Structure 1
């Protein structure tokens, strides 16, 4: 008798889990800001490149590289917020 009662109780527990359903929720996708994905302008390299101009070119290249790294860091931060 006791085994039959335990079996009925377990059977009810198993059938209670069978009624679950999957519901898909639409998530609003927020686009990245255009300033983060815009193409960076490439500094113009003069054909005869004197030493003085190479210093200015290095400064402009390093500032462009720094801006690209900041943009990538901002994109990573946005993607981390989306994951949470």
Structure 2
């Protein structure tokens, strides 16, 4: 699984992207966030307030319950505002 990080999420994690192999029990975005949070202090800081982080699975916006799998690309980013 390819995980991408953008903006302040990337700054806290410390990398722009990484290849990960979560355990089989990680089946959705929320589970992936929980698993990633345990990987490092930077990951934990990035996801400390998970409600402030948005996700996309295979370039489609995804809710916390959206399924994820081994071949997916998952991106995490802050909410986008416009004007």
Per the TM superposition, whether the score is higher than 0.5 is: no
Give the structure with higher Rg (CA). 1
TM-score by length of 2: 0.20
- In proportion to residue count, which structure has more helix? 1
- In proportion to residue count, which structure has more strand? 2
Q: Which has the higher contact order (CA 8 A, sep 6+)?
A: 2
TM-score by length of 1: 0.20
